[in-house]
Amino acid sequence: MRLYGTDIASRLMLGTAQYPSPAVLAEAFHRSGAGIATVSVRREAGGERAGGAFWDLVRELGVTVLPNTAGCHSVREAVTTAQMARELFDTTWVKLEVIGHADTLQPDPFGLVEAARILTDEGFNVFPYTTEDVVLADRLLGAGCEVLMPWGAPIGTGLGLTNIYGLRTLRAQFPDVPMVVDAGLGLPSQAAMAMEMGYDAVLLNTAVAKAGDPAAMADGFARAVEAGRLAFEADPMEPRDMAAPSTPVIGKAFLE
């Protein structure tokens, strides 16, 4: 998988929040083989480096870091947070979140496009957290984004892919754009479904961090992502409305 000119070995991305302990977080990443870790800038304190221990832990994971603007509800807040992230993590990559609705955590489409345009003009490589809306996707690409991250369901719900039609339509509309299903996944089977639809990767956090055994769940998601990608690349059969015998009937013995 190639994102903004960088090769990423794994198609599974994991968040770093809500784990019961640093040791559990590290083991989950080890079992998952995840290639990217998302990190909230709010874990770091610019002057005193209060989040220094956490940052040391993330660096020890040996994965690519994708800072995010989680919790930002305005363009100004998101842009400022992204600028902080660039200084703290020494990267131009940023997962852009501009939240528009407090209950569903749905992105603000207008603020998202505006913030994406500002950040790309400043040299950022923007990974926008968006919905499956095709028009919004087109606007984000026009603003300079080269990757899209549509949600499967609202953040932290575990509902899976709530709008399969919309996700299929989005994937078909922009076949050459790298896309990551981000948020709302609860089970490995849901990740496999996203990969079977042709999505390039999945990003999740709560489903692993809040599992009874986060490391085992991370392992399950890793296998599901691999299986789903293999199925997509194998060009699966089209579903049919009528049964079709899998055993040939020509030459079958019969009685008169």
Residues labelled catalytic: 95
Phi, psi of 109 (to 5 degrees): -60, -35
- Going by the annotation, the residues of the binding site are 156, 183-184, 205-206
Rounded Cα gap, residues 197 and 171, in angstroms: 8
- Going by the annotation, the residues of the binding site for 1-deoxy-D-xylulose 5-phosphate are 156, 183-184, 205-206
Rounded Cα gap, residues 129 and 101, in angstroms: 14
* Cα Rg of the chain, angstroms: 20
Q: Tokens representing 65?
A: 């870091």
